[in-house]
Chain A
Amino acid sequence: MAWKRDDSPNPQPEPPAAPRPMTSAPPPPPAAEPTRRPSERATIGPSIFIKGDLAGEEDLVIEGRVEGKVDLKQHNVTIGKNGRVKADVFGRVVTVEGEVDGNVFAQEQAVLRQSGAVRGNITSPRVTLEDGSRFKGSIDMEPKDLGRASGPAPGGPRREPGTEAPANRIANA
């Protein structure tokens, strides 16, 4: 019971040297290492130029230049204010604050911020264009409820239930 523990005369009887074993204790096993938290994201810095396709399993912020497909369908992709992408971008939520010269496929939402510019087509169930943003191309949205219930597009691949986001259809085609 708790009150008994409180009554113990010396709950911490270790001598001052006690912390020493702590420092010499073996490091925690690798499994105990903190894993990358979902909020963490990789960043391509402003001085980086990548020519080639990008894929991964974590969120990505692009502040540099990328010439090649950015394929993170299950993760969020942000093209920062300094970011320049010359290729198609696939992501769950794609946010453009810099420039994209290519098509954007977002499974959940595409956001074109005020500072952003896209020349290409946007395919996403939700598209947000902030005032002042620059856009040239087409926007393809499915109705929010219809997108869940509709069947495959003519000639398109068969969809599994719950995986019918337009970006997936196109990306997997």
Chain B
Amino acid sequence: MSWFSSHGSRDKKKEHRPTAETEPQIHRSLALTALLEEFRRGRKLQVLDLGPAIGSNVEFLSQFGCKIYIEDLYAALSARAGGGDGEEAGPEFFAEFLPRSEAVSFDVVIAWDTWNYLTRKELGYFLKHLALFCQPGTVIFSLISILKQIPAQPIRFRIVDEQNLAYDVRTTALRPAPRFAPADLNDLLRGFRVDRSFLLRHGIQEYLFVKEGERR
């Protein structure tokens, strides 16, 4: 249908469309455990999930009674008019992707590994726009790869339990990773501070960023 994209790759030239046949790997996620502390504060949270709609994640988060907004950033980038290959998404794209609404303010943003699929410039545009939906105390959960190459499509993460994430890699094709350094992220996420950061053995650095200021 027109308003949904196929989950293709943004980088079609590099991808050979092989699919990963392996079982999802399960990794312990210290940042996830820390993030879930936020959900236990007792109030109804508004959560933005930037990954695809995954039933088990929705089911897991439902126990906290939150409102979940699912906006698949990578799918939207892939579906850009003209395919978007080779062209960076500008501020207009992100404004359309996440239309501004005074009524919507996110307490938690789950970015998964989607930022690895943006250029530095795109990430800058996106985070500037995302900041409009954030308030003091807003927590962002992001997984940044420190490896030179990453899967050609974002990994599908499933919350197994409060400590573990299943990594479902859907392709064996690789693409270069932007490898955002902590200094880059600090620069791009002005107004946020790194609350927790964990470097995992398989080359993923987990971050929890918190919007500075006094919570409402």
- Please list the residues of chain A having a beta carbon within 8 angstroms of any beta carbon in chain B: 99, 101, 112, 117, 119, 126-131, 133-144, 146
Contact = CB atoms under 8 A, between A and B. Distances in A.
B176 interface: no
Interface string B54-66: 1100110011111
B54 A138 contact: no
Interface stretch (B68-76, B85-93, B127-135, B201-209): B68-76
Candidate in B3, B53, B55, B59 with the most chain A CB atoms within 10 angstroms:
B53
A117 B4 CA distance: 8
Given A133-B53, A143-B62, 20 more contacts: A99-B1, A101-B3, A127-B59, A127-B62, A129-B53, A129-B55, A129-B58, A131-B54, A131-B55, A134-B1, A135-B53, A136-B4, A138-B67, A138-B68, A139-B68, A139-B69, A141-B65, A142-B65, A143-B64, A144-B62
Nearest to B76: A136
Nearest to B104: A138
Contact of B65 (A126, A128, A137, A143): A143
18 contacts: A119-B3, A126-B62, A129-B54, A131-B54, A133-B53, A134-B1, A134-B4, A135-B53, A136-B70, A139-B58, A139-B62, A139-B67, A139-B68, A140-B68, A141-B66, A142-B65, A143-B65, A144-B63
Name the prevailing secondary structure of the B interface residues: loop
B55 A146 contact: no
Interface in B175-216: none
A81 B53 CA distance: 19
A134 B110 CA distance: 18
B99 to A, nearest CB: 12
A138 B54 CA distance: 13
Candidate in B3, B62, B67, B68 with the most chain A CB atoms within 10 angstroms:
B62
Interface in B62-119: 62-72
B157 to A, nearest CB: 13
Contacts of B4: 117, 119, 134, 136
Contacts of A144: 62-63
Contacts of B58: 127, 129, 139
B97 to A, nearest CB: 10
